Amino acid sequence: MAYRSSEKTRQKKDAKRTAMMQAAVQVFAEKGYYAATVRDIVKAADVAIGTFYFYFPDKETLFVHLYEETADFLLQTIDQAVRSRSDLAQQLSRGIQAYLNIAIYEPAVVQLLLVGGVGAVPSLEAKRLAFRERLVRLWQRPLDKAIEAGVVPEQNSRRVAEAFAGAFDEVILQLLATPEPDQEVGAVTQELTLFSLRAVAFKGTSL
């Protein structure tokens, strides 16, 4: 009879893997990809170095996998927020707020995606471009619907969405550099939403 691990054993393995992933996000954010070591990660996760190599052959594989999972988490969170509303003003507001909340409460996630992945690992480049493409399309979708509904004039929604993605990222990175970023979330959400609505000449009711 083939050996099958018990549910308790699987849960313990999952817990160790999760601990390593969470520790790695923090270590990479604090030290950067090149300075971070496997020993730094296992020390932060409080697991044996052999446990690391049970799951990942090397640091690069972990980093790429971590980048993918982190990107999915961020995109799904923003997407759910945008889909929770039907008008452009609220869609942008909710999406921006969701992005800001992650940045404030999980800053290492944003650092990993916006800073840590740039030029760090050659094998990551395709995945980084895929993440950026999905992020642009996320902002483009509600804009296309608004154009169809006639609440914004005809325009190149792709280029506008690219501008949104770049502008939001820059503001968030600058916000994270301030002493108390959590105190500004509400104001920044409103400012970015109004900026976006003005940029596309929104004809509906603003916030």
Indicate which CATH number applies to the domain containing 114: 1.10.357.10
- The domain tally of the chain equals 2
Query: Domain check: are 179 and 195 in the same one?
Result: yes
List the chain residues with pLDDT less than 70: 1-13, 117-120, 206-207
Model confidence, pTM: 0.86
Query: Domain check: are 145 and 157 in the same one?
Result: yes
CA–CA distance, 52 with 49 (Å, rounded to integer): 5
CA–CA distance, 194 with 207 (Å, rounded to integer): 8
Query: Domain check: are 165 and 176 in the same one?
Result: yes
Which pLDDT tens digit goes with each residue over 53-92?
999 999 999 998 899 999 999 999 999 999 999 999 999 9
Structural domain that includes position 153: 59-199
Query: Domain check: are 110 and 12 in the same one?
Result: no
Burial of 164 (0-12, 13-18, 19+ CB in 10 A): buried
Q: What angle do CA 128, 22, 69 make, to 5 degrees?
A: 30
